[in-house]
Amino acid sequence: MKRFSILEEKPDIIGITSGMTYWYPGVFKVIEITKKVFVNAPIILGGIYATLCYEHAKKHSGVDIVFNGRGELEILKLVSDLTGFEIGLSEFRNPQFPIRDEIYPAFDLYPKLDYVCISTSRGCPLKCTYCASSFLGKAFSTRDSFRAVDEIEYWTKKHGVNNIAFYDDALLIEPSKHFIPMMIEVIKRGISCNFHVPNAIHIREIDEEIASLLFRGGFKTIRLGFETSSETTQIETGGKVDNQEFRKAVKNLMRVGYSGEEIGVYLMVGLPGQRVGEVEEGIAFVKESGANPMLVEYSPVPHTPLFEKAIKASPFDIENEPLFHNNSILPCQWEGLTIADYRRLKEGLRRK
């Protein structure tokens, strides 16, 4: 395992990443502090905000270079150009994951490590109209399943980590090539860990075999990306799942041992033009299946097909100010679905 010291007094270059578009003020603060401490080091800003709001980042972040897009190989070339330090790109065995397969994130620098996040695939082949996964990840690709298990084993056995959250957008896509061999290997190596899927998993793929592997492999937090029970909205937003597939998946999960409470089902609230009745129907539908409905507020994401519609529907200037993408303000609220409606629904679920 390669490790580089991050405690350089005079770094040649500093790379800063970014997450949600509406978190950019925190990123700007980091940039401001970094510039004060390392006066002459060039700063590259990359990540999700930098890619989705490239022009905004170029104009306001104050860094030397805004890196737009995925490309670890491109960033390695850029580092070579800026520093003169030759990085042997041919050393990386998987060009799709040149860094993650070779150098694990330095989570162990945290004084206490309760959990880590892991990604074993990139992107998603589906194209839901509210999601930027295909824009950010371009082609869907997976890591070598055994190398991903090597990383899981590294965190669990070397650092005593008991909880790992999969940050994959499409963990269950093409399961016979990726998820199934990966989980069989986890079980074979006797790795004991609680796994979580906060980004939700694809409902359509959950047959009996997958449900059983989830259960036996140690997945504790099941989250299903259902979003709505309205067949019209399902089709309009990309058709990733239908109601029948949902019912079947819940049945398979319950059959292998999950309780309804453990099967959290995401339902989107506040899609452009969505009425409160649609969300109420979704909640009732999920409850009827025995699973646990969970509301997620829609956040408008630049470069997604739904973004234009969101700009028109929103009372906020979401086109020019990423702070208004923040889901907590319900960016596309309107008289058909108000903040008061949302609070009432949320309260109802809390009291259940």
Closest CA to 185 of 153, 219, 222, 221: 153
Q: Which amino acid, one-letter code, is at 130?
A: Y
Q: How many CA atoms lie within 13 A of 228 on its CB side?
A: 25
- 326 counts as binding ligand SF4 under rule CB under 6 A: no
- Provide the b/e sequence for 182-198 (b: ≥16 CB within 10 Å): bbebbeeeebebebbbe
Candidates 31, 116, 131, 164; binder of ligand SF4 (CB under 6 A) is 131
Size of the site for ligand SF4 (CB under 6 A): 10
Tokens of residue 162, six digits: 């008991």
Query: Which region, judged by CB under 6 A, interacts with ligand SF4, from 36-44, 126-134, 151-159, 316-324?
Result: 126-134
* Distance (Å) of CA 89 to CA 94, 103, 105, 148: 10, 13, 19, 20
Angstrom distance (rounded) from CA 32 to CA 347: 40
Which listed range, 75-83, 99-107, 128-136, 323-331, lies at the site for ligand SF4 (CB under 6 A)? 128-136
CB of 123 to ligand SF4, least distance (A): 8
Tokens 């090539």 -> residue? 177
Residue 13 vs 48, nearer CB to ligand SF4: 48
The region of 121-129, 249-257, 285-293, 326-334 touching ligand SF4 under the rule CB under 6 A is 121-129
Cβ atoms of 319 and 311 within 8 Å: the answer is: yes
Angle at 296 (CA atoms; ends 291, 299), nearest 5 degrees: 155
Write the interaction track for ligand SF4 spanning residues 67-96; mark x where CB under 6 A is met and - where it is not: ------------------------------
Q: Nearer to ligand SF4 by C-beta: 185 or 202?
A: 202
Residues for the chain: how many in total? 352
The answer to whether 300 and 294 have CB atoms below 8 angstroms apart is no
Between 75 and 131, whose beta carbon lies closer to ligand SF4? 131
Applying the rule CB under 6 A, the residues between 172 and 231 that interact with ligand SF4 are 225
**Smaller CB distance to ligand SF4: residue 133 or 333?**
133
Task: Kindly indicate which of the ranges 44-52, 124-132, 212-220, 228-236 contains the residues binding ligand SF4, using the contact rule CB under 6 A.
Answer: 124-132
Among 151, 169, 185, 297, binds ligand SF4 (CB under 6 A): 169
In the bound state with ligand SF4, the residue whose beta carbon lies nearer, of 124 and 164, is 124
3-state DSSP assignment of residue 314: coil
**Residues in touch with ligand SF4 (CB under 6 A):** 124, 126-128, 131, 133, 169-170, 225, 240
